[in-house]
Amino acid sequence: MAFFACMYYAMMRPSEVAALRREDCMLPTKEWGRLLLSGSAPTVGTKWTDNGQAHEQRGLKGRPRKAKRIIPIPPVLVAILRAHIQRHGVAPDGRLFRTERGGLLYKSGYVRTWKTARALALTPSQVASQLARRPYDLRHAGVSLRLNAGVPATQVAQWAGHSVEVLLKIYAKCIDGQDHLWLNMMDGALGDGPASEEEQDERGDEQRS
């Protein structure tokens, strides 16, 4: 659960979650926490690594080798990670997520787990749909959540490890149902004063109809 929660609440790529270490996590008791990402561990196949292993230790995607990315995480994810560490501990190198033998997680393993959990959690019609079809869709949902909440695209791109250009190209259509909020902001900018609560509700009703 904690592995998938990182993908949704922190917009992390699976390879970044696989490489997450305890020292990368600031997990206060009640407040927002923080993750400091510096690497990833993608599955690339034994033929394509220098050490013959299936995984390769890499820097963050699209960034210099030693670059780091700071992601603020909500209290709900802080609590999930604290509970995970308390229950399962960490690997000798500090990794939060590992196989039964302490190795790096394989894509086939967490994809299989996701399919099982999805079938249990969703209705048959939802299972047959494209809803949350892949674990990676959790990352997309996390990005969309922040954009729809009104967080500036530049900030979301920084947290997610995207360029602004890529983020807007992929997610531009996900920002939906909030025209009445932008109109209210424009009223203030034009000196007309913010719309009343009743007017805001009317605008929202008109948009949804």
pLDDT tens column, 138-185: 999 999 889 888 899 999 999 999 889 988 888 766 665 566 666 777
Residue carrying the six token digits 């990670």? 81
For the chain, the first-to-last Cα distance in angstroms comes to 37
Maximum pairwise Cα distance, the chain:
66
Q: Which residue has tokens 């009743």?
A: 198
Tens-place pLDDT, residues 57-71: 555 455 555 578 999
Q: What residues pair up with 55 in beta bridges, in sequence order?
A: 43
Looking at residue 81, its pLDDT comes to 98
Distance, in Å, from the CA atom of 189 to the CA atom of 65, rounded to the nearest integer, reads 43
Q: What token pair was written down for 111?
A: 């994809």
Least confident of 31-40, 72-81, 116-125: 31-40
pLDDT digits (tens, 9 = 90+) for 128-150: 999 999 999 999 999 988 988 88
As beta bridge partners, residue 196 has none
Q: Which residue has the higher pLDDT, 38 or 197?
A: 38
Which residues face 72 on adjacent strands? Answer: 34
Q: What pTM was estimated for this model as a whole?
A: 0.74
